[in-house]
Structure 1
Amino acid sequence: MPPAPFVFSSATPQGWYLPEAAYPYYVLALYANIDFTSPNGNPPVNEGSVQMYEKGPESVKFLPDETVKAKLASVKKLSEVSAKDYDAVYYIGSHGPVFDLAVDPGDIGLGDGFCQSGEIVSAVCHGLAALVGVTDAQGKSIFADKNVIGFSNVEEEILGTTKEIPFSTEDRIVSLGGKYTTTDKPYEPKVVVDGLLLTGQNPGSSSSSSPFGEEILKALRK
């Protein structure tokens, strides 16, 4: 089975968003060897996401899942992993990546490795913030001239978090040359695939109502 790491934020209290890990995990787990990795090796779940998605079928079983518990108990540090050992990478959202992954040398190095070796790079919601420092072999941003979607400014304003974060994911992607798109209505799920770069707008984009996990699987099977 192809190997692929899920990259989690270690930022507290923002952490990682439960459904953005749970649904793609269960789509991919039967077909890929999934490792969990984060900057500090101990990623905190965003408690708000646990409460909000407590009835989601994948979210309900994710945290009590014995295999998942074992993976979370032995999360690899980003400094311990290399893109050459994997076929794809998936960056999980929540506001955490805006605070730590965006500037983490281990994360940027991992992303560079995937981008420059022509492997699958996928991210959802604020997970795209983990890629703002990633470049291709020519030094261009991974987002340059790519069709991309992530958590929007409008959604940030509705959530009331615009002034609480270091930067806007949407604005940063645009400044790096990304062809940013969004949904007609805030918080609608949407997935954009441009070559080997797969992005989703918000938590709903990684749920059972959206094909995000399936798009990663499709790319792995090519």
Structure 2
Amino acid sequence: MAGKKILIVVTNVSKYPTLPRATGLWLGEAVHFVDKVTKAGYQVDYVSPLGGYTPMDPMGLADTDELSFDYYQNRDFMNKLGTTLKPSQINPDDYLAIYFTGGHGVVFDFVNNTELQKISAKIYENNGYVTAVCHGSVGLANIKLSSGENLIKNKQVTGFSNDEERQVKLDKVLPVLTEDLLKSKGGIYVQTKKLWDSFAVTDGRLISGENPASAGAVADQLLTALKQK
């Protein structure tokens, strides 16, 4: 396995197909993960389904924290989000882990992206880690291992819950709900007892977080696992 690099996956989708409403990356879900892993000495690269520009969900900017605003004002960080790599430019052997960020945009471009699925499967089968947070967990659903089995089958996994989706009133808008999709692919879905609390779960080399508050917890569990290797 190659050096200390982690691959961050972000969306290219800037608008709900059926609503006059912007979407994109939920900034804090990238920031709180990236901040922890880079401070621990890991390098990160950014990839998106199409490469290039990553839009920001304006709701995620309106309801964020000082750390996320610090990154939002960091030209180097924002330039990287504006010039993400294409999946075809990625060598999975270079990475210890992959992390699927969230924001509702990912529901439209992560689920059926076979290139990202193949990259994830290769990292996993290289003894690496596959991780996700919130809606980013839809990116886990269709990852197939070389055995033909779904990666998440019979594994504990989490992501944005149906209850949380109903609270933001988007459960009737999306083509699929994260919780339902994970269950349909054989995942053992688990969630926090109190909605919106930070919650992450590790099952082997699969690590996932439930909601926007959980990105840091995913990073913490990944860093703990990497230290034990």
Could you tell me the TM-score, scaled by structure 1's length? 0.92
Match of 1:200 in 2: 209
Counterpart CA distance in 2 for 1:176 and 1:186 is 23
Runs of 4+ in 1 over 4 A off after TM superposition: none
Bigger shift: 186-195 or 112-121?
112-121
Counterpart CA distance in 1 for 2:50 and 2:162 is 29
Percent sequence identity is 29
Counterpart CA distance in 2 for 1:86 and 1:44 is 25
Equivalent position amino acid for 1:147 in 2? Q
Match of 1:47 in 2: 58
Secondary structure of the corresponding residue to residue 151 of structure 2:
coil
Q: Is residue 20 of structure 1 aligned with residue 29 of structure 2?
A: yes
Unaligned runs of 5+ in 2: 16-22
1:140-155 equivalence runs, <5 A: 140-155=149-164
Secondary structure of the corresponding residue to residue 29 of structure 1:
helix
Could you tell me the TM-score, scaled by structure 2's length? 0.90
Match of 1:219 in 2: 225
Secondary structure of the corresponding residue to residue 70 of structure 1:
helix
Q: Is the 8 Å Cα contact of residues 142 and 185 (structure 2) preserved in structure 1?
A: no
TM-superposed CA distance for 1:57, in Å, is: 2.4
Secondary structure of the corresponding residue to residue 111 of structure 2:
helix
Unaligned runs of 5+ in 1: none
Counterpart CA distance in 2 for 1:83 and 1:121 is 12
Counterpart CA distance in 2 for 1:105 and 1:136 is 12
Counterpart CA distance in 2 for 1:117 and 1:98 is 27
Counterpart CA distance in 1 for 2:141 and 2:74 is 32
Count of aligned pairs between the two proteins:
217
Equivalent position amino acid for 2:12 in 1? S
* Per-residue deviation, residues 141-181 of structure 1 (Å, max 9, x unmatched): 11101011111111111111111111111111111111111
Secondary structure of the corresponding residue to residue 71 of structure 1:
helix
Bigger shift: 60-69 or 139-148?
60-69
Counterpart CA distance in 2 for 1:70 and 1:168 is 31
Match of 1:4 in 2: 6
